[in-house]
Amino acid sequence: KAFYSMDGVSGHAGLFANASDLAKLAQVMLNDGGYGNNKFFNKNTIEEFTKRKSSSPTWGLGWWRQGDNGRVWYFGTQASSNTYGHQGWTGTLTVIDPESNLVVVLLTNKINSPVIDNTKNANTFFGNKFTTATLGTIPTLVYESIEHGNKEAIDANLKTMVTEKLKLYNPSNYQGEAVLKAAYSVVDTMVTRAEERKVKSTIDYAYEAIEEISKVDTDKTIINELKARVDSIKAIDEAERDLSNISTEKLSEVPDADWQADISFPDCLNRVDDTLIVNNMYTFNGYENQGKLYIKAEPGVTSARIFINGFEMDTSEICNNSGSTFVVDYSKVANNGRNTIQVTNIEPNNTAIKGGISVKIPYPEVIEGSADSVGMNQNTLDLIDTLINNDVKYGFTSAQLAVIKDGVMVKNSAYGKTNSYNQDGTPKTDSSDVTTETLYDIASNTKMYSTNYAIQKLVSDGTISISDKITKFFPEFVDGENDPIKG
Do 115 and 227 have their domain in common?
Answer: yes
Q: Is 16 exposed, middle or buried (0-12, 13-18, 19+ CB in 10 A)?
A: exposed
- Tell me: pLDDT of 472 over 60: yes
| Residue 12 located in a structural domain | no
> Looking at residue 478, what is its pLDDT?
84
Residue 487: which domain range? Answer: 444-487
- Of 342, 297, 298, nearest to 316 by C-alpha is 297
Mean pLDDT of 191-208: 97
| Residue 2 located in a structural domain | no
Decide which of 330, 364, 398 is a domain's last residue.
364
> Looking at residue 471, what is its pLDDT?
85
Do 219 and 313 have their domain in common?
Answer: no
Q: Is 179 exposed, middle or buried (0-12, 13-18, 19+ CB in 10 A)?
A: buried
> Looking at residue 1, what is its pLDDT?
39
Do 147 and 31 have their domain in common?
Answer: yes
- Tell me: pLDDT of 195 over 70: yes
- Tell me: pLDDT of 60 over 80: yes
- Of 407, 405, 402, 408, nearest to 437 by C-alpha is 402
How many domains are there within the chain? 4
Mean pLDDT of 251-264: 93
Do 73 and 92 have their domain in common?
Answer: yes
Do 175 and 81 have their domain in common?
Answer: yes
Residue ranges of the alpha helices (H) in 407-446? 446
CA-CA distance, 54 to 156, in Å (whole number)?
Answer: 38
Residue pair 166/212 in contact (Cβ under 8 Å)? The answer is yes
Decide which of 231, 265, 287 is a domain's last residue.
231
pTM comes to: 0.85
Do 187 and 262 have their domain in common?
Answer: no
| Residue 5 located in a structural domain | no
> Looking at residue 350, what is its pLDDT?
59
| Residue 238 located in a structural domain | no
- Tell me: pLDDT of 289 over 60: yes
Do 410 and 339 have their domain in common?
Answer: no
- Tell me: pLDDT of 2 over 50: no
**Lowest-confidence segment of 117-126, 353-362, 408-417 by average pLDDT:** 353-362
Decide which of 317, 340, 364 is a domain's last residue.
364
pLDDT in tens, 122-173: 989 999 999 999 888 999 999 988 876 689 999 999 999 999 999 999 999 9
Do 182 and 257 have their domain in common?
Answer: no
- Tell me: pLDDT of 415 over 50: yes
> Looking at residue 267, what is its pLDDT?
83
Do 69 and 89 have their domain in common?
Answer: yes
Which helix (H) or strand (E) covers residue 190, if one does? helix 176-197
pLDDT in tens, 214-252: 999 988 999 999 999 999 999 999 888 999 999 999 999
> Looking at residue 269, what is its pLDDT?
76
> How many percent of the chain have pLDDT more than 90?
73
